[in-house]
Chain A
Amino acid sequence: DAGVIQSPRHEVTEMGQEVTLRCKPISGHNSLFWYRQTMMRGLELLIYFNNNVPIDDSGMPEDRFSAKMPNASFSTLKIQPSEPRDSAVYFCASSLGTGGLTGELFFGEGSRLTVL
């Protein structure tokens, strides 16, 4: 079975540019999560969806960040305009949601973003 698929794997862009990260969750999973990983702050939950509906976006740092989930098999995380402090690895994860016994998260390989 295919796992969580993220693209791009690496992105280098200049400050002020728009960045779009993409995620395809595991088929049948109804919850999707976006995490950001930095050395300083570790793994931070940005936003999560349940059945394509955003449930908690309290971790989204500012209005420059937005996330969408137009259907059960696709989500995007957009940063516009990007800034150097946005440089991080962005992970997408999916789970069976509270329907699963323990809500194990399955992670993608991450998208490493570098903003110059």
Chain B
Amino acid sequence: AQTVTQSQPEMSVQEAETVTLSCTYDTSESNYYLFWYKQPPSRQMILVIRQEAYKQQNATENRFSVNFQKAAKSFSLKISDSQLGDTAMYFCAFRQGGSEKLVFGKGTKLTVNP
């Protein structure tokens, strides 16, 4: 079974600085998708960024980018120019190609300090 590990339960960063959240996963498949979801205090899960395993280029969405290291099975999220609104739980998630199931890590609680 696939597993997703987020080794940082909590992190903090100063406003306007850059922070990187770690995620590793375990799979024997070659076709899969990776996601970062954000869960603010309002509780609703929001997709931040996605990465297809077959793409070598790292995904970028405005201030959010990933460092996808397929061989190392690592998928970290970099948030640049952190804003107070980035304060949230961040979940890394894995989906095997052809499957509907999304497997989540335990999450990292990020606090952006003014």
Contacts and interface: CB of A to CB of B under 8 A. Distances in A.
Partners in one complex: yes
A42 B98 CA distance: 24
A37 to B, nearest CB: 9
A92 B102 CA distance: 13
A104 B50 contact: yes
B44 A108 contact: yes
Given A103-B95, A104-B50, A109 B101 contact: no
A34 interface: no
Interface in A23-64: 31, 33, 42-43, 45, 48, 50, 55-56
A94 to B, nearest CB: 11
Size bracket, chain B contacts: 20 to 34
Size bracket, chain A contacts: 20 to 34
B96 to A, nearest CB: 10
Contacts of A45: 101-103
Interface string A85-107: 00001010101011000111101
A43 B91 contact: yes
Interface of B: 33, 35, 42-47, 50, 52, 91, 95, 98-107
10 contacts: A42-B104, A42-B105, A43-B91, A45-B102, A48-B100, A102-B33, A102-B50, A104-B50, A107-B44, A107-B45
List 6 A-B pairs, minimum CB-CB distance, nearest first.
Answer: A107-B45, A43-B104, A42-B106, A109-B44, A110-B43, A102-B33
